Structure 1
Amino acid sequence: MRTTSVDVFRIATAGPGDVSGLMDLIVSGAIDPASILAVLGKTEGNGGVNDFTREYAVAALCTALAPKLGLSPEAVEQRIAFVMSGGTEGVLSPHVTVFTRHRDERPAGVSGKRLSIGMAQTRDFLPEELGRSAQIVETARAVQAAMADADIGDSADVHFVQIKCPLLTSERVAAANARGNTTATTNAYSSMAYSRGASALGVAVALGEIGADVGDEDVLRRYDLFSKVASTSSGIELMHNVVIVLGNSVSSASEFEIGHAVMEDAIDATAVTAALESVGLGANPQAGRTLVNIFAKAEASPDGTVRGLRHTMLEDTDISSTRHARAAVGGLIAGLAGTGAVYVSGGAEHQGPAGGGPVAAIARLSD
């Protein structure tokens, strides 16, 4: 049976421009650069509009991979999905997670569903479309296309959907105004939330988690509408959505498996443990399984409380609430996973219940 095999490599980085770990794996033959499909990374920037560590990391990776692929750096960026999440507050450790995919034979004795990955992207958006219905609809279409690319037919087998989405700048707002249109917000930082939220609602629509009758008025207002597997991250470097679907498929010959749970709030250790247990890890791990990485969203509860107790994350004018949330959730997950090299992204609008967020774990199986 001809199948697809997916491999996952977590690589520590000494800085946003550090590509030495990836290059070492390519030189050793562990990674075929032609098989790289996506790279998810954590960089030590502030995670805000002016966090250029994300763009710097992508540029460094594209420049390093270009001669290996016989392409220009610009062509590499078009071929591979790069999603860099800024902000490694607290014990979070900068790193990249590289996903490769190639055709392979399913080994004898391997049964069940294994890790699969699919990619798609939307068309470019106009600034006035960000955070609104157009972004929801187009994202839903791209999620379904990425599921098909991963050969996943059942939404229950989708465990994490990572999206890189655009944000607004003053120039983009001015361009919309020049056409006689208004944007969802004129504030660049707020636009990150609108874009993340609309993208997450697109995931929820695509997977049937909510109905398709969701629109402009629901974004950042109806927090009862959310996806349990969406993880969206805004950046200045693009005007379309890049969609990466991670799930399990019977047509995969991968040595990896993914599972997830949903955190109800920023201190939901039970959900993190459930995500680990979903792939045979946790308090009593199955033999022959090792943790590769954990992917999670972090959010400061919009009502200003966690389990009835007031927090000040939303009222701190010195440090953004998303940075507080990443540090808190990152510390919780790191303590349970035994490593700070985990992917925790801030800003979970419509990504899990208000104040919470999805958490997914990938394990390697030796059987």
Structure 2
Amino acid sequence: MRTTAVGVFKIATRGPGDVSGLMAMIGSGAIDPTSILAILGKTEGNGGVNDFTREYAVAALCTALAPKLGLSSEAVEQRIAFVMSGGTEGVLSPHITVFTRREAERPAGMSGKRLSIGMAHTRDFLPEELGRSAQITETATAVKAAMEDAGITDPTDVHFVQIKCPLLTSERVEAAKARGNKTATTSSYSSMAYSRGASALGVAVALGEIASDIRDEDVLRRDDLFSNVASTSSGIELMHNVVIVLGNSASSASTFEIGHAVMDDAIDAAAVMSALTSVGLGTTPQPGRELVNVFAKAEASPDGSVRGDRHTMLEDTDISSTRHARAAVGGLIAGLAGTGAVYVSGGAEHQGPAGGGPVAVIARLS
């Protein structure tokens, strides 16, 4: 069995185009650019269809890494998985998390499973396939491929599956119409939810969390169908799904561990503490363990209430409900984790129970 060591580096950014922190770590030798497998980031955009901070951040990173890798910027984007989540409302702080992987021997005396990472891509989708069974099926296949790439055989060892998925634009809707096909929706904003939801259901199918007999009409309508570890984010810059699986594996020589819990609602502090405790970082932290980052999903409860109290996030026409949710959940997690530099993504369709979402924590072991 191949043994690998995964590295995780959280780097603050001064803006979506700021690559200085990453370049400094590469210059010092702390990060080998050839070992970078994925970069997840939070950018200070609006998180909507027109949030170009995501594309700007990816372009800046690709341009900076290209000469280090001896590749074109386009080739860098094909080699490394980039997932930029727009929206740093409230106390959320813009940053990137860099994941590296290299071949390594497992040290003598190392026990237990350690952090492992795997990556896979789906094929490009047709616009009319977004939010439907084709996206679910292809995503499930890619998740299994990413698990194999990570050296993970047991689905219970998967603690977070991050997916970057496409959305619809007017041009893409018209292209489908020209072929005589209808898309799941004609709204670009609504298409983000359809794409996120179908991608999350693909994760659930791959991990055996739900059955595979899902119909197109179940997407965004069956709240009882969800994954406990999926985190999906829509973007205009691609037409396929990029799948990143994070879990623990006996084939990993990493000095990191990952664990997760599921928030039932936006104020579920107990679930956040459970996730922290799962990697030894609860109310009484284990010695020799350090928080690296927290990854979570957030959404405004679709029934208009949180534990019986009415909320107005869905009726606010000035601020999107996803921005409200990111700010609320981000504040909760930041208060418990002791830092605002956490990865909280909005739009949790089929990602945890309605109004809630998964929360994963990575810890570094000395």
The normalised TM-score by structure 2 is 1.00
Counterpart residue number, 1:239: 239
CA–CA separation in structure 1 for the residues paired with 2:298 and 2:194: 16
Q: C-alpha deviations, 1:81-103, integer Å up to 9, x for none? A: 00000000000000000000000
CA–CA separation in structure 1 for the residues paired with 2:92 and 2:215: 35
CA–CA separation in structure 1 for the residues paired with 2:90 and 2:217: 36
Q: 3-state DSSP class of the match of 2:314?
A: helix
Letter in 2 for 1:57: A
Is 2:346 aligned against 1:346?
yes
Q: Spell out the pairing of 1:209-288 with structure 2 (5 A cutoff).
A: 209-288=209-288
Q: 3-state DSSP class of the match of 1:65?
A: helix
Deviation at 1:2, TM superposition (A): 5.7
Counterpart residue number, 1:117: 117
Q: Spell out the pairing of 1:165-244 with structure 2 (5 A cutoff).
A: 165-244=165-244
User: Contact 1:118–1:246 at 8 Å: present in 2 too?
Assistant: yes
Q: Spell out the pairing of 1:98-117 with structure 2 (5 A cutoff).
A: 98-117=98-117
Deviation at 1:294, TM superposition (A): 0.1
User: Contact 1:117–1:149 at 8 Å: present in 2 too?
Assistant: yes
Q: C-alpha deviations, 1:124-150, integer Å up to 9, x for none? A: 000000000000000000000000000
Deviation at 1:266, TM superposition (A): 0.1
4+ runs deviating over 4 angstroms: none
Q: Spell out the pairing of 1:1-367 with structure 2 (5 A cutoff).
A: 3-366=3-366
CA–CA separation in structure 2 for the residues paired with 1:165 and 1:313: 25
Q: How many pairs were matched up?
A: 366
CA–CA separation in structure 2 for the residues paired with 1:282 and 1:290: 11
CA–CA separation in structure 2 for the residues paired with 1:171 and 1:141: 28
CA–CA separation in structure 1 for the residues paired with 2:215 and 2:18: 41
CA–CA separation in structure 1 for the residues paired with 2:147 and 2:304: 36
CA–CA separation in structure 2 for the residues paired with 1:361 and 1:284: 16
Deviation at 1:215, TM superposition (A): 1.8
CA–CA separation in structure 1 for the residues paired with 2:54 and 2:121: 19
CA–CA separation in structure 2 for the residues paired with 1:296 and 1:215: 27
Deviation at 1:230, TM superposition (A): 0.1
Q: Which ranges in structure 1 are unaligned for 5 or more consecutive residues?
A: none
CA–CA separation in structure 1 for the residues paired with 2:271 and 2:164: 25
Q: 3-state DSSP class of the match of 1:137?
A: helix
CA–CA separation in structure 2 for the residues paired with 1:153 and 1:191: 33
Q: 3-state DSSP class of the match of 1:314?
A: coil
Deviation at 1:109, TM superposition (A): 1.1
Q: 3-state DSSP class of the match of 1:200?
A: helix
Identity percentage over the alignment?
Answer: 86
User: Contact 1:2–1:106 at 8 Å: present in 2 too?
Assistant: no
CA–CA separation in structure 1 for the residues paired with 2:288 and 2:54: 35
Letter in 2 for 1:195: S
CA–CA separation in structure 1 for the residues paired with 2:140 and 2:191: 20
Deviation at 1:210, TM superposition (A): 0.1
Q: 3-state DSSP class of the match of 1:257?
A: strand
Q: 3-state DSSP class of the match of 2:115?
A: strand
